[in-house]
Amino acid sequence: MRYNFDTCPVRKGTESVKWDLYPGTLPLWVADMDFVIAPEIKAALQRRLDHGVFGYELLPDNYFSVMDRWFSRRHGWKGISRETIVPTTGVIAAYSAAIKAMTVPGDKVIVMTPCYNAFFPAIRNNKCVQASCPLHYEGGLYTVDWEAFERLAAESRVLLLCNPHNPVGRVWTREELLRMADICLRNNVFVVSDEIHCELTYPGHDYTPWATLPEEYVLNSVTCFSPTKPFNLAGIQIANIYAASPEVLAKMDRAINDNECCDVNVFGATALQAAYGEGGPWLDALRDYLWHNARTVYCFLEDELPLVTAPPLEGTYLMWLDCRAYMKKWAGSAGVTEDGETGTSGAGFSEALGEHLRKKHGLVLSTGTIYGEAGEGFMRLNIACPRSTLLEGLSRLRDGLESFIGRGAN
Ligand SMILES: Cc1ncc(COP(=O)(O)O)c(C=O)c1O
């Protein structure tokens, strides 16, 4: 293979959030990858660094045309240009400004829970009210609860969508998106689509950009996207808001300026152009590696942790582990957490398990409940690391679950 994902630089002691927030642990939580970036991006950043001057910069035409080429060729999404894009510092900044632009205080914003945890503060910070629409989980598959969605749409102003969905790993199909789009348009609900995970999809699950739906639905939306997640550039901070409607774009521009996050980092702009311009082969090799990592997790669960299951990973590098069989055992044995919380109702399981794994087994996963109440009984596992690291994490998870239940039963 042209790229090596099996060995990575040591990140410990580099002020990495993932590696240094909980020292001495194996961190498989926050969503960044341990892999070195594509050599083409590194070379472009090096060239920019070598210039030695980092004053304020304009965005060149290539910034927009490289995105247009990438998205039209790879995903059939046409129309990206200087006239349809507002650049900003990150996807959180992007969707937060979009909420600000399209709501007044007190408006309801629909989120399909469990959902990305930073959706919640963005809704609160814009003085809006969260309208949770828990996803339906049956037969190991997450789907939209259409009845609840219709009901909430009738009283809400914005849908904050995650496509593909973090943390449950769904890549929404065109049919599902069309149904959401139709309900939203009929109910005057504006759609803010966070598509930061869009490049990370697996065989049989193609990403459908919201912007490729029929025009009336696209005009009622913005798309927030960035190369930072797929190309492992999270700390470099760059993102874009796409709006097909000039009126909507003007509102986004106003909100981004009101929030003072309209100037992008010179390295972000350089990295974006190199990623979309030259990063394709690296990204495809990465997707293949991640797909094999996901297979490794499914095999491990089947062989060594049969009580833990995971829905099919259609997209993202975040696996959603269903540990509810252990939650039942824990509740049944009246498990008592170190904080003295009882497990008789199952409440507090994910949090207690997360703490146990971290303190006793040196493993950090993301606790299911940070993604909403619907995440109780689940843990999120980041598989974007060398396979050997992943296997070490899975062994710790197996041992940790056993000792957690053992401790509860004592
Ligand atoms: C769905 C989603 N949106 C946004 C972000 C963060 O985006 P940014 O770092 O560009 O603000 C993440 C990071 O994990 C994410 O998963």
pLDDT digits 0-9 by tens, 78-112: 999 999 999 999 999 999 999 999 999 999 999 99
The residue whose C-alpha atom lies closest to atom 13 belonging to ligand 1 is 31
Q: What is the pLDDT of residue 339?
A: 44
Tell me how far apart the alpha carbons of residues 259 and 249 are, in angstroms, rounded to a whole number.
15
Q: Both tokens of residue 264?
A: 């992008």
Convert the pLDDT of each residue in 23-47 to its tens digit: 999 999 999 999 999 999 999 999 9
Q: Is 316 in the pocket of ligand 1 (CB under 6 A)?
A: no
Q: Which of 138-147, 253-262, 327-336 has the lowest mean pLDDT?
A: 327-336
Please indicate, yes or no, whether residues 290 and 270 belong to a single structural domain of this protein. no
Q: What is the pLDDT of residue 335?
A: 52
Percent of the chain with pLDDT over 90: 94
Parallel/antiparallel/unpaired status of strands 190-194 and 221-225: parallel
* Cβ proximity of 34 and 11 under 8 Å: yes
Percent of the chain with pLDDT over 70: 95
Please indicate, yes or no, whether residues 56 and 69 belong to a single structural domain of this protein. yes
Tell me how far apart the alpha carbons of residues 144 and 173 are, in angstroms, rounded to a whole number.
11
* Cβ proximity of 349 and 330 under 8 Å: yes
Pocket test for ligand 1, best of 17, 198, 229 (most atoms within 8 A of CB): 229
Please indicate, yes or no, whether residues 259 and 342 belong to a single structural domain of this protein. no
Convert the pLDDT of each residue in 297-317 to its tens digit: 999 999 999 999 999 999 999
Nearest to 101 by CA among 262, 248, 264: 248
Provide the number of structural domains found in the chain: 2
Convert the pLDDT of each residue in 157-177 to its tens digit: 999 999 999 999 999 999 999
Q: Is the pLDDT of residue 325 over 80?
A: yes
Q: Is 366 in the pocket of ligand 1 (CB under 6 A)?
A: no
Q: What is the pLDDT of residue 336?
A: 52
Label residue 65 by pLDDT band (50, 70, 90): very high
Domain-located, residue 61: yes
Q: What CATH number did the domain enclosing 273 receive?
A: 3.40.640.10
Q: Is the pLDDT of residue 203 over 60?
A: yes
Q: What is the pLDDT of residue 317?
A: 98
Domain-located, residue 203: yes
Please indicate, yes or no, whether residues 303 and 395 belong to a single structural domain of this protein. yes
The type of residue at 112 is M
Q: Which of 27-31, 78-82, 331-335, 351-355 has the lowest mean pLDDT?
A: 331-335
Phi, psi of 293 (to 5 degrees): -60, -40
CA 32 to ligand 1 centroid distance, Å: 10
Label residue 346 by pLDDT band (50, 70, 90): very low
Q: Is the pLDDT of residue 347 over 80?
A: no
Q: What is the pLDDT of residue 407?
A: 60
Domain boundary among 261, 278, 295: 278
Q: Is 223 in the pocket of ligand 1 (CB under 6 A)?
A: no
Please indicate, yes or no, whether residues 161 and 23 belong to a single structural domain of this protein. no
Phi, psi of 73 (to 5 degrees): -70, -45
Q: Which atom of ligand 1 is nearest to the CA of 238?
A: 10
Label residue 409 by pLDDT band (50, 70, 90): very low
Please indicate, yes or no, whether residues 118 and 79 belong to a single structural domain of this protein. yes
Provide the whole-model pTM: 0.95
Q: Both tokens of residue 40?
A: 């083409």
Q: Is the pLDDT of residue 406 over 60?
A: yes
Q: Both tokens of residue 70?
A: 């990438």
Please indicate, yes or no, whether residues 78 and 125 belong to a single structural domain of this protein. yes
Domain-located, residue 35: no
CA 92 to ligand 1 centroid distance, Å: 6
Q: Is 272 in the pocket of ligand 1 (CB under 6 A)?
A: no
Q: Is 31 in the pocket of ligand 1 (CB under 6 A)?
A: yes
CA 95 to ligand 1 centroid distance, Å: 10
Domain-located, residue 4: no
Convert the pLDDT of each residue in 251-266 to its tens digit: 999 999 999 999 999 9
Domain boundary among 239, 254, 278: 278
The residue whose C-alpha atom lies closest to atom 14 belonging to ligand 1 is 31
CA distances from residue 366 to 240, 344, 380 in whole angstroms, order as listed:
27, 23, 5
Please indicate, yes or no, whether residues 208 and 322 belong to a single structural domain of this protein. no
Q: Is the pLDDT of residue 338 over 50?
A: no
Q: Which atom of ligand 1 is nearest to the CA of 93?
A: 11
CA 219 to ligand 1 centroid distance, Å: 23
Domain-located, residue 190: yes
Domain-located, residue 299: yes
Q: Is 226 in the pocket of ligand 1 (CB under 6 A)?
A: yes
Parallel/antiparallel/unpaired status of strands 108-111 and 158-162: parallel
Please indicate, yes or no, whether residues 226 and 285 belong to a single structural domain of this protein. no
Q: What is the pLDDT of residue 340?
A: 42
Tell me how far apart the alpha carbons of residues 398 and 306 are, in angstroms, rounded to a whole number.
10
Question: Residues 6 or more apart from 326 whose CB is under 8 A from it?
Answer: 307, 308, 349, 353, 401, 404, 405
CA 90 to ligand 1 centroid distance, Å: 8
Domain boundary among 245, 262, 278: 278
Q: What is the pLDDT of residue 320?
A: 98
Domain that holds residue 229: 40-278
Please indicate, yes or no, whether residues 287 and 201 belong to a single structural domain of this protein. no
CA distances from residue 148 to 138, 142, 269 in whole angstroms, order as listed:
16, 14, 41
Q: What is the pLDDT of residue 2?
A: 83
Phi, psi of 137 (to 5 degrees): -120, 110
Quote the mean pLDDT of the chain. 95
CA distances from residue 351 to 164, 339, 340, 403 in whole angstroms, order as listed:
25, 11, 13, 15
Q: Both tokens of residue 167?
A: 């943390």
Q: Is 80 in the pocket of ligand 1 (CB under 6 A)?
A: no
Domain-located, residue 368: yes
Q: What is the pLDDT of residue 331?
A: 82
Domain-located, residue 10: no
Q: Is the pLDDT of residue 10 over 90?
A: yes
Q: Is 119 in the pocket of ligand 1 (CB under 6 A)?
A: no
Pocket test for ligand 1, best of 17, 91, 238 (most atoms within 8 A of CB): 91
Please indicate, yes or no, whether residues 206 and 330 belong to a single structural domain of this protein. no
Mean pLDDT to the nearest integer, 65-72? 98
Q: Is 114 in the pocket of ligand 1 (CB under 6 A)?
A: no
Nearest to 309 by CA among 122, 130, 140: 140
Please indicate, yes or no, whether residues 111 and 225 belong to a single structural domain of this protein. yes
Q: What CATH number did the domain enclosing 359 receive?
A: 3.90.1150.10
